[in-house]
Structure 1
């Protein structure tokens, strides 16, 4: 039970739970390990899980009608990731979820999320706060894409997420920033 308690306290930071609550939480989360290159969600899939990242690196991305990839989000240790539009709307996925580095994830299904909300109300508050922060981050990113230069977006990214850049390929980062890999190389060269 001790290791379950440690894992729950790692996932739900700054929260304390009874032994019974820990049992409910651990039975609601499904641990999985996946290899680099795995596509966990494909556009058009039904999405039933959101994922807590214990280790590794992932990304959500969309492929436009011209075949160009647009990275929407990265997921690293201690982050939650999924195609949130599909997860919350019960519509088909509009994004893909790719494993960029071997990873260990904990899947939380919609049904198990609701179960946790009902049996352990503080989980509801925890997830609501996580989603509010994610929504605010997405709004900041939209504003940055509309109002900042590519160099400013790159600098903000590496200052905000210094651990991600070393874990992703140049074309993943470039697609996240909305630029070409050549532009990313020019920006890096200019800054060095």
Structure 2
């Protein structure tokens, strides 16, 4: 029970939970080991789950009508990932989820999320806080796209994700920034002698 409690408290940011609440959460969180290259969600699927990343790295991405990938989000340890718009609205996915570094994750189904938030209101508060953070990050990213140079966006990226460059491919980072891999290489060269390297 102690190891279960420790893991659940880690996932839910040290919420104070009773033994019964811990047991209820443990009964609906499903631990999974997923390998690099696994696609957990494809655009067009019904979105039935959200995922907590205990270790590893994943991304959400969209493929446009020309077949070009646009990375929307990276998720590393202690993050949640899903196509949240589809998850909460019951619509079909617009995004894909790919495992880009072997991961240990916990899967939570929509019906089980509803069950635990009804029985444990502080879990709903926790989820609301996480969604507010995700919304804030996305809004800042949109504003950066509109007003900041590619170099400035790259600096923002490595500041937000300081250890991620060892885990992901250059084209993932380039697709997140909306630039080519060649432009990414040029930006890195320009920044080589600055405090960012």
Q: Same fold (TM over 0.5)?
A: yes
The Cα offsets for residues 28-60 of structure 1, whole Å up to 9 and x where unpaired, read as 111111110011100111111000000110000
Task: Give distance in 2, aligned partners of 1:7 and 1:141.
Answer: 31
* Equivalent position of 2:73 in the other structure: 73
* 3-state SS of 2:163 partner: helix
Deviation at 1:85, TM superposition (A): 1.6
Q: Hey, what does 1:144 align to over in structure 2?
A: 144
Question: Which residue of the partner structure matches residue 117 of structure 2?
Answer: 117
Q: Any unmatched runs of 5+ in structure 1?
A: none
Distance 2:15 2:186 in 1: 45
Q: Secondary structure at the match of 1:45?
A: coil
Shift of 1:161: 1.4
Residue 72 of structure 1 aligns to a residue whose secondary structure is: strand
Q: CA deviation at 1:166?
A: 1.9
Structure 2, unaligned stretches of length 5 or more? 193-197
Cα deviation per residue 1:61-83 (whole Å; 9 max; x = unaligned)?
Answer: 00001110000001100000011
Deviation for aligned residue 1:159: 1.1
Matched with 1:10 is 10
CA shift, 1:165, in A, is 2.0
Output the CA distance in 1 between the equivalents of 2:146 and 2:178.
11
Q: What residue is the counterpart of 1:20 in the other structure?
A: 20
CA RMSD of aligned residues (A): 0.7
Three-state SS of the structure 2 residue aligned to 1:168 is coil
Map 1:158-177 to 2 at 5 A. Answer: 158-177=158-177
Q: Distance in 1 between matches of 2:115 and 2:91?
A: 21
Q: Distance in 1 between matches of 2:36 and 2:159?
A: 26
Matched residues in 2 for 1:119 and 1:110: separation? 14
* Residues 133-153 of structure 1 deviation map (CA, whole Å, 9 limit, x = unaligned): 110110000000111000000
Q: Distance in 1 between matches of 2:27 and 2:52?
A: 15
- Where 1:15 maps in the other structure, the secondary structure is coil
Aligned residues: 192
Paired residue for 1:86? 86
Secondary structure of 2:91's counterpart equals: coil
